[in-house]
Amino acid sequence: MVEVPVKMYVAAVAKKAKEAARAMALVSGSVKTNALLAMADRLEAEEEAIFEDNRLDAEAVGKSLTGDTNRDTVKEAVDRVRFAEDAVKEMVKTLRQVADMPDPVGEMTKLWRQPNGMQISRMRVPLGVIGIISDGGPPVTTECIALCLRAGNVSLVRGGPEWAKSGARVATILREAAEAAGVPAGGITFVERNEKEAALELLRLNKHLDAILPRGGAGLRRTVIEQTRLPVLGQDVGVSHVYIDGDADLPLAQNIVVNSKAQQPTAPNSVDCVLVHQAVARSLLSALIRRLLDEFRVEVRGCPKTIAMTGSFALPGYMNLIAAKDDDWGKQFLSKTLAIKVVTDMDDALAHIAQYGPGHTDTIVTRDYTSAMRFIREVDASAVLVNASTRLHDGQEFGLGGGLGINTTKVPARGPVSLEELTCQKYVVMGTGQLRHPHPVPVTYEDAIMLKRPS
């Protein structure tokens, strides 16, 4: 049997997903809740089979890399594919948490009346079909599917090919459980072709998709942004700064910087650049840089003033403090690398942030209320924090019930991608026969004939 070309296959799958969008938008909140709980129950019941498939996936990856490949590289690739012990339990927990979240669809966010009697409101509605492209495994795609389902969207998922067997099993479980609970066929759709071209084709389907959600590393996000004209959710691009003010609590500042960088250095919201007010630089930098180098093996790149104030650290077995280059200041490192610059004052800090913005996440460490409020007003970033780690910029940490990345562009809405960001709003107008005239005729509310409510 001749296999259908990738382009034709992906187009056909996307067309079916688009056809399901209308029915999906009408699914009630109770049906969605029951579907999410049914999906969780099925995953829980088939946990052993999922782990067995994942074992086979890990073996397949190991065999594909045998030969001249470095042993450490093989181990790293296998470990990446192999599930953690609690992976299925975490997927189940995520599904049940999303089931407990309020349904955003149909929510009226604003209501007002015009002088001519028209009642105008704004209502939350699903985006439609969301293409999910992931280079991660089923735990990542499960969270995406759960939040998209809760928001009334069709999920069109292309998961990481390394999880061929376990991904296919989880996909079948989620789709069958959802449809048995009343979700329309096609509401959760998977691209079952592992060729790279399948992911690229999704990015070109403007006719059938309403948005693209990349879930994975910087390379994947960059490819998606460059290759598609669709709105991209969770771009997660941009530099993150911590500015330590002249009136900062220095132990607190040190802890915030360390957590912002070392807690998960590869995260998009890990700090890339620390700006230190010159009034506190000499007191802070020596201890902070030594801690970063010694305890966490962070490569620190300093401006000339930073190096002059702290000297050259030479720690056997570790990298040294090195001079920063010009392009280090605007770089999102996504690694154990951090740039540090001494600034003259807040004006200098704000000018630096503006030069390399708009940013991902920017934090000020200060005890001065006026400085904090000025920083909040003037910094252009998807999130601005006061006396808190940049790593806290996340949908889960913000109490939004989960997050699928951070929108760092101004369109769509900036910040964590959660339920509200997976919807849009439409205007709803209730009239009583109002007409538009060349010169509007004032009509009082009392003169308008209102729609009669059913008794």
pLDDT tens profile 37-51: 999 999 999 999 999
Cis peptide before 304 (omega within 30 of 0): no
**DSSP symbol at 283:** H
Among the listed residues 132, 137, 134, the one whose alpha carbon sits nearest the alpha carbon of residue 80: 137
Q: What is the pLDDT of residue 425?
A: 94
**Type of residue at 156:** L
Tokens of 93: 């927990």
Q: Structure pTM?
A: 0.86
Report whether pLDDT(315) > 70.
no
Q: Which residues contact 65 (CB under 8 A, 6 or more apart)?
A: 73, 74, 77
449, pLDDT greater than 80? no
CA distances to 276, 294, 325, 328, 442 from 288, in Å:
11, 10, 20, 19, 67
* pLDDT, tens digit, 9 for 90 and up, residues 72-109: 788 888 888 999 999 999 999 999 999 999 999 999 99
Residue 451: the pLDDT is 52
Q: Mean per-residue pLDDT for 10-36? A: 96
Contact present, 417 and 150 (Cβ < 8 Å)? no
Helix intervals (H) in 323-365: 346-355
What pLDDT does residue 445 have?
54
Give pLDDT, residue 441. Answer: 55
pLDDT value of residue 180 = 97
Query: Tell me, what's the pLDDT at 409?
Result: 82
pLDDT in tens, 318-336: 567 899 999 999 999 999 9
pLDDT at 69 over 70: no
The mean predicted confidence, pLDDT, of the chain is 91
Decide: 111 and 120 in contact? Cβ < 8 Å: yes
Q: How far apart are CA 297 and CA 320, in angstroms?
A: 9
* 171-222: pLDDT as tens digits: 999 999 999 999 999 999 999 988 889 999 999 999 999 999 999 888 899 9
Q: Is the pLDDT of residue 351 over 60?
A: yes
End-to-end CA distance of the chain: 63
Q: How confident is the model at residue 4 (pLDDT cuts 50, 70, 90)?
A: confident
